[in-house]
Amino acid sequence: MENHHYYKYEQIEKISKSVIYYYRNLRNDITLPIDVEFIIEHILNLKLLWNPIKGSDGEVILAMVTPTKTQIQMNSDQMQMFDSVPNLERTVLSHEIGHFILHKLEITNPGHSYKRSIAKSNDPLEREAHQFAACLLLPRDYLLDFIRLNSKKIDFNGWGTIYFLAQSFGVTKTMLMLRLKEIGILSRTITGEFISQTGHNYGQLLV
């Protein structure tokens, strides 16, 4: 997109942190997972609607954000997909929040749609929205505290730790591993394999 203001990862994390700051104050708790719908309705004052959304050219649309109408629409025709993929709904909602906060001025009517093929997208707006979603659902402080408090259960020596963390924070395995890499808990080889500090090799992610 022309004239797009690119955000650095640290900037995106900082913005997500201010949302979490309000969240923490309003909720007065640090219960996991982060309640995304609460953020949409009570912090950003956006309408959250479930409507049928028709895609063109066989493209499946999961959701749409329309800043001029201060609304996020979820595609009710895709209810089955949301029900069958764990945490997909939370991921999509957080991604749309990212667009609303970061790209409000760039999104015109009827809105910006979340397509099924988004994981393969190289569009910087999509990348930024996804980074925002990861920072929002996996706040650095919450994640580090949680790992410290559950150190008996968490060893990063196998998939058990990954599933436990992904389930606790309500995120996909992919989102969790990429966030752990940004925080420095996992490292990544030139060939894209994720390695823990204890030397466990999780291999490459299949997105």
Binding mask 68-107 for Zn ion (x = CB under 5 A): ----------------------------------------
Distance of alpha carbon 120 from alpha carbon 131, whole angstroms? 14
Torsion angles phi and psi, residue 130, rounded to 5: -75, -40
* Cβ-based nearer residue to Zn ion, 129 or 175: 129
Determine, following the binding rule CB under 5 A, whether residue 36 of this chain makes contact with Zn ion.
Answer: no
- 20 near 101, Cβ under 8 Å? no
Q: What is the CA radius of gyration of the chain?
A: 17
* Cβ at position 191, least distance to Zn ion in Å: 28
Please identify which residue in 19, 129, 175, 176 interacts with Zn ion, judged by CB under 5 A: 129
Distances (CA, A) of 92 to 4, 68, 134, 141, 191: 22, 19, 11, 23, 28
Report the residue number, 19 or 133, with the smaller CB distance to Zn ion: 133
**Region binding Zn ion by CB under 5 A among candidate stretches 17-25, 41-49, 120-128, 186-194:** 120-128
- The site for Zn ion (CB under 5 A) is made up of 126, 129
